[in-house]
Structure 1
Amino acid sequence: MNTPSTPSTPPAETTPAPATESPEAAGPTTPAAPPSRYSLGTFPNMFRSMFVIGLFVLALVAIVPRITQVQRPAVDAAGKASQVAAQTSWPVQLPKGLGDGWVPTVATFTPGTEKVQTFTTVWTTPSGKDIALKQAAGATQGWVARSVDDGDAAGTVTVSGRTFEKFVANDAGQVAYVARGDGARGLTLVASGTAPEDELKAFVAALAPVTPAPGVTPAPSTTTG
């Protein structure tokens, strides 16, 4: 008696491995670009960069205009002086005929040191410095001392036949000329500034009385003494 044979299991199918592409088949490889020598950060390269930047900055400085000082606008010092002369009945003075380069930049009439009513003008000189002219009736010693910037007495100076007391404030680099008024209500003048002394002399030599403005009623006197 024959026993039927068991059918055999067919062999499992084997999946073929993908073929590996050879380097020759992938084509030629592009070589990497060499790093820039400027990206290496070496000291010579940094020096070259800073040198170029420095030249550029110097060129900008050369072509950009520079302002050495602020130019203040001129004011009507003569008009203000005429009003003050009419209001106070003071023999107010201003320089006349100074010529080019002299510019009045301040003209005020306010209480000053120790509440002494003071007419102040400030002038820019041809050398670019400033001279201040202060005028007050009934000026106190404290007012004079502050007006000369607490300078030391340095004798007298005669300019155009007029004698002034001279004060020198070395710390401030300032010279002042003082003409004291006669009596307690006399008008005291102080001309001071950092301008060269020859300009200060030219300034006080040009001082002359101003004409009071018409139609202005004098105010009640506030001077002391």
Structure 2
Amino acid sequence: MSDYNRADATFGGYAAVLGVIVLVVLAMAMIVSARQEEHIPSVDYTADAAALRDTAPYESRVPRGLPEGWVPTSSTLETGDALPGEEPAEPVRWVLGFATPEDRHAEFGISGAEPQEFIAEMGRNGGPDGESDVRGETWERYYNETETWRSLVNRDEEATLVVSGNAGYPELEVLAESLETQENAE
């Protein structure tokens, strides 16, 4: 006959119940964390876009119709202290940052500054890396391998457009494709 020990039976029961409780709590924690989405603060850049349109001595562009998941996170406009209709003392530039659907960073910049300086700044001194075709326009590619920073560049006589970030070229091309000319306020 075996000896029955009430303490051993009680401890075993408590251990089994505690194990079940721990498993239930872990399962609930995993479900809750899976359902929580990261909240990225969004900025409204419409005022900066309007000021760029009214101040820049070049044709301004703004992203329109980006797919779901693109979140504007920053907007910096430098107008050279010019008022609408005045000639700015410094080159007008605008940089608009986004969180992408792939949880990367992409930004769009436009400036009337010296193109090579603006490209080097926005592209973090990346080197040539081929070309992309965006809506029938050829955009130069630049890549900084050290910082994993890619850029797409489009230049005209008045302004330089740069789309850059740690996003891949396909996402940068989506941002570049969304750029549309703003109509001047009359």
Q: Is TM-score (shorter-chain normalized) higher than 0.5?
A: yes
Give CA-to-partner distance per residue, 1:24-65, whole Å, 9 cap, x none: xxxxxxxxxxxx99xxxxxxxxxx9xx899768746743653
Secondary structure class of the residue paired with 2:121: helix
Q: Which of 127, 135, 145 matches 1:160?
A: 135
Query: Are the equivalent residues in 2 in contact too, given 1:85–1:212 (CA < 8 A)?
Result: yes
1:196 aligns with 2:164: no
Structure-2 change in CA distance of 1:142 and 1:89 (3 Å): closer
- Of 57, 67, 72 in structure 2, the residue corresponding to residue 104 of structure 1 is 72
SS at 1:205 equivalent = helix
Q: How far is 1:181 from its partner?
A: 3.0
Q: Deviations over 1:102-125 (max 9, x none)?
A: 2222222138xxx85421111222
Q: Which runs of 5+ in 2 are unaligned?
A: 1-6, 9-15, 80-89
User: What is the root-mean-square deviation of aligned Cα atoms in Å?
Assistant: 3.4
- Listed as ranges, the matches of 1:168-187 within 5 Å are 168-182=143-157, 186-187=158-159
SS of 2:33's partner is coil
72, 84, 87: which one aligns with 2:55: 87
Instruction: Provide the C-alpha distance between the structure 1 equivalents of 2:163 and 2:100, rounded to a whole number of angstroms.
Output: 13
| Correspondence for 2:40 | 71
In 2, Cα distance between the equivalents of 1:63 and 1:102?
A: 26
Offset at residue 213 of structure 1 (A): 4.3
If each structure's helix is expressed as a fraction of its own residues, which one has the higher value? 2
CA distance in 1, matches of 2:47, 2:30: 43
Find the aligned partners of 2:173 and 2:52 in 1 and give their Cα distance: 25
**8 A contact 1:90–1:137 mirrored in 2:** yes
Helix, strand or coil at the partner of 1:119: strand
Q: Residues of 2 paired with 1:78 and 1:212: CA distance?
A: 14
Identity %: 25
Max radius of gyration: which structure? 1
Alpha carbons of structure 1 residues 54 and 146: separation in structure 2 relative to 1, 3 Å: farther
The C-alpha deviation readout for 1:67-113, integer Å capped at 9, x for no partner, is: 674512242x23421211202233111122223222222222138xx
Q: 1:118 aligns with which of 75, 89, 93?
A: 93
Q: How many residues align?
A: 171
The normalised TM-score by structure 1 is 0.59
Matched, 1:132 2:107: yes
